[in-house]
């Protein structure tokens, strides 16, 4: 089943006296199967974040059709109730950890969303404990939230979304402000939520190494879908990625440049050890 299905979506930011209207999405169609792990790439202004806003029903498309968990959001008879229901399916984690922590104690922060949904206290207690365990933050349950590291704060924000039982979570550059360790922590959690809990994951990122961990990559450029495929397919065409102002993982770039020397090396290997093993085999390592 598709948790998200979009057909010919377009969206324009209205202008005012000083600014012209900007068409951010142009005729975008795609679907996201339940349980999948998709990365969305694109340079700044390519339409990625606008797409995320539409998928969380923060904004409504100007034209085209959109279904969230089987409910159409764009039909004439779509009600407020349908939209609220859709928002309960798709959650979002933002970029800045400091902007999404609302409570002073970790477990209260995780409970915040559930409290707003009117869930009974006993049930909230159970969900908060489970969510904190899922992100490896149980021992911090009663800690103050303000002096956690950036990576820990993002994990608390993720726990808040898990506790609300979202079937799909969109991560909008959620690792951009973290140090390498924090980034790894958060990426590992995201991957586990997808593989073990079956939560559908969409990550918006500028880090090609993170995108390489997804099952599928959607590349946005100029408000349109520019490329759509597995990481091997998308990164396998570095010239096209550079054309869109993007990069490919360094292993791909290395192999692509070595192909000019007649070496038959793959472009879809993103792991350093694997890449080195293949290169050594082709070149013939001297021991």
Residue 45 near other proteins by CB under 8 A? yes
Residue 230 · residue 253 · CB < 8 Å: no
Do 217 and 244 contact (CB within 8 A), yes or no?
A: no
85 binds other proteins (CB under 8 A): no
The yes or no reply on residue 95 touching other proteins (CB under 8 A) is: yes
Q: Is 44 in the site for other proteins (CB under 8 A)?
A: yes
Candidates 32-40, 127-135, 224-232, 249-257: pick the segment binding other proteins (CB under 8 A).
249-257
Using rule CB under 8 A, residue 12 touches other proteins: no
43 versus 167: smaller Cβ distance to other proteins? 43
| Choice between 29 and 95, CB closer to other proteins | 95
Name which position in 47, 61, 64, 150 contacts other proteins (CB under 8 A): 150
| Rounded least distance, CB 17 to other proteins, Å | 11
Q: By CB under 8 A, is residue 181 in contact with other proteins?
A: yes
When asked if residue 63 is in the footprint of other proteins (CB under 8 A), the reply is: no
280, two tokens: 């050594």
The single residue among 1, 14, 18, 239 that binds other proteins, judged by CB under 8 A, is 18
Shortest distance in whole angstroms from residue 256 CB to other proteins: 9
Pick the closer one to other proteins by CB: 117 or 280.
Answer: 280
State yes or no: residue 179 binds other proteins (CB under 8 A).
yes
Q: Does 99 bind other proteins (CB under 8 A)?
A: no
Sign for the pseudo-dihedral over CA of 179, 185, 188, 193: negative
Q: Is 257 in the site for other proteins (CB under 8 A)?
A: yes
Residue 232 contacts other proteins per CB under 8 A: no
Binding site for other proteins (CB under 8 A): 18-19, 42-46, 95, 149-151, 173, 176-183, 206, 209, 245-247, 249-251, 253-254, 257-258, 261, 272-273, 275-277, 279-281, 283-287
């Amino acid at each position: 089943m598709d948790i998200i299905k979009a057909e010919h979506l377009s969206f324009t930011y209205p202008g005012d006296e000083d600014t012209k209207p900007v068409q951010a999405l142009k005729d975008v169609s795609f679907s996201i199967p339940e349980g999948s792990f998709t990365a969305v790439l694109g340079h700044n202004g390519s339409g990625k974040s606008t797409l995320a806003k539409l998928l969380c029903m923060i904004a409504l498309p100007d034209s085209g059709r959109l279904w969230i968990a089987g409910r159409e959001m764009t039909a004439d008879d779509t009600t407020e109730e349908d939209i609220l229901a859709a928002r309960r399916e798709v959650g979002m984690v933002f970029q800045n950890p400091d902007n999404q922590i609302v409570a002073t104690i970790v477990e209260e922060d995780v409970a915040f969303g559930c409290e707003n949904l009117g869930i009974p206290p006993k049930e909230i207690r159970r969900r908060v404990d489970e969510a904190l365990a899922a992100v490896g933050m149980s021992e911090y349950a009663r800690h103050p939230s303000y002096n956690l590291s950036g990576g820990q704060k993002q994990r608390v924000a993720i726990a808040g979304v898990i506790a609300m039982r979202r079937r799909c979570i969109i991560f909008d550059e959620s690792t951009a402000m973290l140090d390498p360790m924090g980034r790894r922590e958060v990426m590992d959690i995201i991957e586990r939520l997808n593989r073990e809990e079956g939560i559908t994951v969409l990550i918006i990122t500028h880090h090609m190494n993170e995108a390489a961990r997804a099952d599928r990559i959607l590349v946005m450029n100029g408000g349109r879908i520019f490329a759509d495929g597995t990481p091997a397919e998308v990164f396998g065409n570095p010239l096209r990625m550079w054309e869109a102002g993007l990069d490919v993982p360094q292993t791909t770039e290395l192999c692509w440049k070595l192909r000019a020397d007649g070496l038959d090396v793959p472009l879809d290997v993103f792991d350093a050890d694997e890449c080195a093993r293949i290169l050594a085999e082709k070149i013939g390592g001297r021991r």
